[in-house]
Amino acid sequence: MHQDTAADSPAAARGAVAIIANRHGELLLHLRDDLPGIAWPDHWSVLGGGCDPGESPREAIVRELDEEAGLTVDGLVELFEIRDEYGSGQLITFFATFWDGDETALPLAEGVKLQFLAPEDLVFRTIPPFIRDGINRYLAARPA
């Protein structure tokens, strides 16, 4: 007999992340906790998370930015979707926005730290493959 699980619900199969750039062209990355049972422990990622039941990806990213970093941003632009093939399996909607604040002053609710990093510094960071793909697509389309 088939049991319904959270993974079977459409909401559990979706998530949203935000690529946040500052005026220097650096991207805001989040060093995830190194805990068993979480997706991509001890990896650098962008802020985001899964959609709650009935929640759109846009609603989810607004909520996640607030919950994870006390961050409210204007002008979220929806970019594209990428599936996290090697992790949660979720279909992740990528958004982009601009924020030029001091990331060290944000109230980080989970993870180790937030840091603006130059695109060339990302080569040396451990980043989930789908996040790296999304960042590379964003950077390739970004005006020079």
Encoded tokens for 81: 């979707």
- Please provide the distance, in angstroms rounded to a whole number, between the alpha carbons at the two ends of the chain: 55
Q: What's the pTM value of the predicted model, to 2 decimals?
A: 0.89
Euclidean distance between CA atoms 120 and 117, whole angstroms: 8
Contact 60, 51 (CB under 8 A): yes
User: Residue 2: what are its φ and ψ, rounded to 5°?
Assistant: -85, 130
Can you give the pLDDT at residue 86?
A: 87
Contacts for 15 with CB less than 8 Å, ≥ 6 apart: 48, 49, 50, 51, 57, 60, 84, 88, 90, 91, 92, 93
Dihedral, CA of residue 95, residue 132, residue 68 and residue 6, to nearest 10: 90
pLDDT (tens, 9 = 90+) of the chain, 144 residues, equals: 434 334 444 444 899 999 999 999 999 999 999 999 888 999 999 999 999 999 999 999 999 999 999 999 989 999 999 999 988 889 999 999 999 999 999 999 989 999 999 999 999 999 999 999 999 999 999 876
| Domains of the chain, earliest start first | 6-141 (3.90.79.10)
